[in-house]
Amino acid sequence: MIESLKKIYEIEDKSKRLFKMVIPQNEFLKTLNFISSSSNFITLSQISCADWIEDEVFALNYILTTDKRDKNLMVEINIARDNSKLPTLLKLFPQAEVMERDLHEMYGIEFIGNPTLYDFALEDWNEIPPLRREFDTLAYVNENFEFRAGREDNKDVKAETKRRRAEAKKLKAKQEAEK
């Protein structure tokens, strides 16, 4: 079945059972509709997203699986990072609801037509969506949390290692000199 799709779309063979195609954003609903209704890639198994901040895009991969579950097709679209909006796939695949909800929370992508884009794993989150590259976990932790009491004398690991090595070296040199 993948052969007939290859006649229509440009599909890359990533391995014997994994294929990938990249399509423009405006064609994605039409394409997914066509593939799921006219080929054996009938199931949506995952929507993955990677943040390519240097290219200012999110690469979304809609991963479709055959009814035999023996082949996977990654349909990639690249969307703008800011004010990104996409139509929901809820009518095609009911499982898209929770996947879109997850991506909405983690990347801030708006899925038009999905009624459940409320809190998923986070609660009352008002910061930058956390899986965007510009969200700095370390800065967030330093701003919002305090170190547990009793750790005031915590030393910088790198500096302490360096100091101990220098001390050991000094001691060794001294011992050798004494010999």
Partner 1 sequence: MIETPENKNRLIKIYHGPQHPGITGNMSVELDLLGETIKGARTHVGYLHRGFEKLVERRTIIQAFTIVCRICVPEPDPNEENFARAIENLAGIEISEKAQYIRVMVLEMARLASLMLWMGGQSGSIGLGTVGQWSIYDRDLILDLFEELTGGRVYHMYIYPGGVRRELPEGFLERLTQFLDYLETRLPLYDNVFFENATFKKRAIGVGVVNREEALKNGYVGQVLRGCGIKRDVRRDNPYLVYDKLDFEIPTFEGGDVYARAMVRRQEIKESIKILRQVIEQMPTEGLIMQKIPKHRKFKIPKDDTLVSTESARGEYNFYMAGDGTEKIRRMQVKGPSLIHGFTLLENLLIDEELSNVAMIMNSLGICPPEIER
Give dist(CA 82, CA 56) in Å, integer. 8
For residues 138 and 177, which CB has a smaller minimum distance to partner 1 in the complex? 138
- CA 20 – CA 11 distance, rounded (Å): 6
Q: Closest approach of Cβ 28 to partner 1, in Å? A: 17
Contact 31, 75 (CB under 8 A): yes
Q: How far is the CB of 172 from partner 1 (least distance, A)?
A: 26
With binding defined as CB under 8 A, does residue 88 bind partner 1?
Answer: no
Give the nearer residue to partner 1 in terms of CB position, either 14 or 168.
14
57 binds partner 1 (CB under 8 A): no
The distance of closest approach from Cβ of residue 171 to partner 1 in the complex, given in angstroms and rounded to an integer, is 29
> What is the DSSP secondary structure assignment for residue 77, as one 8-state letter?
E
CA distances from 140 to 14, 93, 135 (A): 38, 36, 8
Q: For residue 40, state whether it binds partner 1 (rule: CB under 8 A).
A: no
Residue numbers at the binding site for partner 1 (CB under 8 A): 14-15, 17-18, 20, 42-46, 48-52, 59, 61, 63, 65, 67-72, 74, 93-95, 97-99, 102, 119-123, 130-131, 133, 135, 137-138
